[in-house]
Every structure is written in structure tokens, then in C-alpha cells.
Amino acid sequence: MPPQKSPLEHLVTRYRKPLLGFFVRRVQDQSEAEEMTQEVFYRLAKRPDILSDNRIEGYIFEIAANLVRDRARRERTRNPLNQIPIEDIEVASDEPSVERTLEGRRRLRVLLDALSELSPKCRSIFLLHRYRGMPHTEIAARFGISVSAVEKHMSRALLHLKSAMREHGDD
């Protein structure tokens, strides 16, 4: 005579397939559905006092529904598709990148060197107009020269600076 089944073994025999179907429909992953089915029976095994209750079916599917809810909650908070690795996060900054800073310093050095190559008068005219915003007429009056002469100094300075930048790989 075969050994008699325990109340839990009876429940496993009776509810394993329906539980598995319940989980497969909700999680759409066979292996996870198997694990969740096992979890239901594990929780029942921890409560031997209720295994013979005539309302056990409702209790079994209440455990199953709770497992599905718990899984959904975990997925919402831990879903790797919703997370970005910290290495991929670009922190917004008003600061230029190191490369851009170094490139800017290099270009400034080229411009300053080129400015130092200009005659003092040409350099002063260029700086007064470009960096102080002084109009050509005021510069002409300040130096006692014609507006046309100021324009020639500006052209000479701009051509020289442009040429220096080209020599160093800048357009």
C-alpha cells in the first residue's frame, strides 16, 4: 500500500497546473511562473494549520495575486530598462570641457602672440575698436589721423590675426 499523501501534497496535485496557468498569463515567463507557483506552496507549507480549511482555494489564489502585485511593484522600481547607468549620465554644467578650455587657451595664445607682432599704433587701434567698442571717428580723432587710416590699420590687424590663426590650424 502506497504511503498516504499529506494535505500539502494533495494541494500541490490539485492546484499546481491552475496556479501555473494563472502566473503564465500574468508574467508571460514560464520559469518565473514556475518559481511563483513554488512560492505559493512554500508559503502554504509554513502554515500547516490552514491546509485543511475548506476555503483554502481562495487563500491559495490570494497568495498568488499578492505575488503578482509584489512582482509588478518590484518591476516598476527596479526595472533595468528604466534605469541609466551612472557612467552614462552627463551632468549639465556651465563649465566648458577640459578639451575646450585647453583649445581656447591655445587659440588665445596664438591671438596674443599675433597681436604682439603688430605695431603699437595698429594694435591700439584694433583693441580700441574691437574690445572697447570705440567708433572709427573717435579713434581717428584720438590719434590725429583720418577715418580711412583707422580702417587701413583695422584691415591690416585683421589680416595679420587671420593669417596667424590659419598658420596654427584655425579657420
CATH number of the CATH domain containing 137: 1.10.10.10
pLDDT at 90: 67
**155 found inside a domain:** yes
Same domain? For 77 and 118 the reply is: no
Distance CA 160, CA 19 (A): 84
Same domain? For 121 and 68 the reply is: no
Range of the structural domain that residue 57 is part of: 7-81
**162 found inside a domain:** yes
- CATH number for the domain including 23? 1.10.1740
Give the residue from 81, 102, 122 where a domain finishes: 81
pLDDT at 8: 87
Radius of gyration of the chain (CA): 41
Q: What is the pTM of this model?
A: 0.46
* Mean pLDDT, range 17-41, rounded to an integer: 92
Same domain? For 11 and 76 the reply is: yes
**88 found inside a domain:** no
pLDDT at 99: 86
Distance CA 141, CA 127 (A): 16
Write a three-state SS string for 22-76: HHHHHHCCHHHHHHHHHHHHHHHHCCHHHCCCCCHHHHHHHHHHHHHHHHHHHHH
Same domain? For 30 and 73 the reply is: yes
Please state the domain count of the chain. Answer: 2
pLDDT at 89: 66
Q: Which grid cell sits at 148?
A: 580711412
Identity of residue 91: V
Between 145 and 1, residue with greater pLDDT? 145
**99 found inside a domain:** no
Same domain? For 74 and 119 the reply is: no
pLDDT at 91: 66
pLDDT at 152: 96
Give the residue from 81, 100, 130 where a domain finishes: 81
pLDDT at 51: 79
Same domain? For 75 and 123 the reply is: no
pLDDT at 72: 87
**104 found inside a domain:** no
Distance CA 154, CA 124 (A): 10
pLDDT tens digits for 98-142?
Answer: 888 888 899 889 989 999 999 999 999 999 999 899 999 999 999
* Residues 6 or more apart in contact with residue 158 via CB below 8 angstroms: 126
**102 found inside a domain:** no
Between 155 and 94, residue with greater pLDDT? 155
Element (H, E) at 125: helix 120-130
pLDDT at 25: 93
**149 found inside a domain:** yes
Give the residue from 59, 81, 103 where a domain finishes: 81
Same domain? For 56 and 122 the reply is: no
**92 found inside a domain:** no
* pLDDT-based confidence at residue 97 (cuts at 50, 70, 90): confident
pLDDT at 84: 64
Closest CA to 18 of 75, 26, 73: 26
pLDDT tens digits for 47-93?
Answer: 888 877 888 888 898 999 999 999 888 877 765 555 666 676 666 66
Cα 5 to its chain centre, rounded Å, is 57
